Amino acid sequence: MAEKAKFDREAAFKSIIGAGRQSENAAVAEEKNTKKNSDRVQRAYYLDRDIDKALRRMALEEGKNLTESINDALRKGLVEYL
């Protein structure tokens, strides 16, 4: 018996707007992220589970994304080194 074909969202999107084009909103968002992330570095650290939960809760309560909340917390804790 033949297997059912899967829906490819990306292919459908490209067929609607054109294969090499981006939506206007996506282009603006990508440019904004490039500027925003120009002074950032990506690192990976192991955190205790309770610290991770606290950081996520803090971000949710402040209405910020996790990166912004972590940066704010680190800046407060590292004030004498910055």
What is the phi-psi region of residue 71: left when phi exceeds 0, alpha when psi lies from -120 to 50, beta otherwise? alpha
pLDDT per residue rounded down to tens, the chain (82 residues): 567 777 888 888 877 876 666 566 666 667 776 777 788 888 999 999 999 999 999 999 999 999 999 999 999 999 999 8
- Residue-level pLDDT at 29: 66
Joined together, the tokens standing for residue 31 give 């440019």
- Residue-level pLDDT at 3: 72
What stretch of H or E contains 51? Answer: helix 49-62
Number of H-type helices and E-type strands within the chain: 4, 0
Question: What's the pTM?
Answer: 0.55
